[in-house]
Amino acid sequence: MTTTLPAYDEVVARYEPVIGLETHVELGTNTKMFCGCPTDFGGEPNTRVCPVCLGLPGSLPVANKAAIEATIRIGLALNCSIAQWCRFARKNYFYPDMPKDFQISQYDEPLCSDGYLDVEVDGELVRIGIERVHLEEDTGKTLHVGGATGRIHGATESLVDYNRAGIPLVEIVTKPVPGTGALAPEVAKAYVTELRDVLRSLGVSDVRMEEGSLRCDVNTSLNLPGEEWGTRTETKNVNSLRSVERAVRSEILRQASVLDAGGRITQETRHFHEDTGDTTPGRSKETATDYRYFPEPDLVPLAPDTAWVAELKAALPELPRLHRRRLQEQWGLSDLDMQSVLNAGAVELIEATVAAGTTPAAARKWWLGELSRRANETGTELADIGATPAQVAELQGLVDAGKLNDKLARTVLEGVVAGEGSPTEIMTNRGLEVVSDTGALTAAVDEAIAANPGIADKIRSGKVAAAGALVGAVMKATRGQADAKTVRDLVLERLGVQG
Ligand SMILES: [Zn+2]
């Protein structure tokens, strides 16, 4: 059945969206949550397992202190209260990628609760309430093979990889966010972006959405103004920042069309499809009672020492939003200019280039100019473009030293992006250095004068502006490798004219 979706602007004028976000973050600890198995990504299936994470009878879990510390730091960065005493809980359900038939999680006693994260949307600050931050273990991965889509439907067999089972996972749940109106999709995206930056600044996870170390579920509901909040749906595993925005928008439109037709929204999980931007129904949502939570009997309660928590709080890094504001001031950028740096994903790159000895203006010029253009053309993230901040700083150093002019520097940068080596190597190997040998330049200037006697006469008679034509001829003869100002000075000197 195809239904025509109503227009977005028209829908958000009639309905009020309420959003909520649940984010799972795989912590970057060396070992798993309750055993000593390594956590690195990409190992052969089922090579990072032991009796504990395989759920073999008689094995006993021991909580990973580094994971608890990381979770507390996340909670503190999100302005949460840290529980003085809390327990892990068993969440009972069967799933083939979870051999114990239960997941160790936290239920009514989360480690961190009741915080907030401020995000900026369209220059306005929006405060997103944080309901809870709790610690649990990840499940394994099921791979469905033999079908066309990689989904279970149509597959001939399913394979299970337990390498991921037991990796520490932090779940961060927002409070419902009402009142964002038409901006709901942007707010959702801004929240996940800011959260990702916070987690990165804490160094607790590599927060790679494409590798699944940051995964996002998006709750959406609609209600009429003045009425109670509507039934929400949960769109699972939205795997890019752009998809967070699209998933909310798509669910707002779908729910509106159901409600407009007199239908009711079913409380269910839905799957987001990257290709179409649509969601389709998954399972109808379990309620907490289905999981038969009870306190985990194999683990002692967590009781983080108050002094330790205070120490962790004192040692928190500067939060990304404040850090960005400080950089903006240091770099002397307007809000608009800073926004374009942010949009290009260039903040850290410019920061690192400046740290390597380049002026903010020059660093910004390369990253937002030549390199952004290239990233756009090739559909690459700026950070993955193939040039590092150190290389950009080196390139600018060659320009500052007069060894490269702007045009040559761009050619060298192309070589850097193509992986030909460092800027200095490329300049030397390709013979791109500015010709600074005055003898060679003088000869080229003399040739240009001899070839253009009319222009030379004009310059001699005082029309200094005509020197441009001779400079152009010399630049052409030296394949752009001369310094234009030096050439101009030489032209005037050889013609006996004062510049
Ligand atoms: Zn293990």
Residue 233 burial (CB < 10 Å; 0-12/13-18/19+)?
Answer: buried
Percent of the chain with pLDDT strictly greater than 90:
66
User: How does pLDDT run across 137-188, given as a tens digit for each residue?
Assistant: 999 998 888 877 777 778 889 899 999 999 999 999 999 999 999 999 999 9
Q: Indicate where the chain has its CATH 1.10.10 domain(s).
A: 438-494
Distance CA 444, CA 383 (A): 42
- Region 229-254 average pLDDT: 93
Query: What architecture is the 438-494 domain classified under in CATH?
Result: Orthogonal Bundle (1.10)
User: How does pLDDT run across 184-217, given as a tens digit for each residue?
Assistant: 999 999 999 999 999 999 999 999 888 889 999 9
Of 37-46, 146-155, 442-451, the least confident = 146-155
96: pLDDT confidence band, cut at 50, 70 and 90?
confident
- How confident is the model at residue 1, as a pLDDT? 47
Distance CA 80, CA 14 (A): 35
- For residue 265, is pLDDT > 90? yes
- How confident is the model at residue 289, as a pLDDT? 76
38 CA from centroid of ligand 1 (Å): 8
476: pLDDT confidence band, cut at 50, 70 and 90?
confident
30 CA from centroid of ligand 1 (Å): 12
Q: What's the CA dihedral at 3, 9, 15, 21 to 10 degrees?
A: 90
More confident residue, 96 or 31: 31
Q: DSSP for 264-325?
A: ----EEEEE-TTT--EEEEEEPPPGGGG--EE-TTSPPB---HHHHHHHHHTPPPPHHHHHH
Q: Report yes or no on whether pTM surpasses 0.75.
A: yes
29 CA from centroid of ligand 1 (Å): 13
- Region 221-233 average pLDDT: 95
235 CA from centroid of ligand 1 (Å): 30
Instruction: Say if residues 21 and 174 touch (Cβ distance below 8 Å).
Output: yes
51 CA from centroid of ligand 1 (Å): 6
For ligand 1, a single-atom ion, the residues with CB < 5 A are 35, 37, 50, 52-53
For the chain, give the mean pLDDT.
Answer: 91
36 CA from centroid of ligand 1 (Å): 6
285: pLDDT confidence band, cut at 50, 70 and 90?
low
312 CA from centroid of ligand 1 (Å): 28
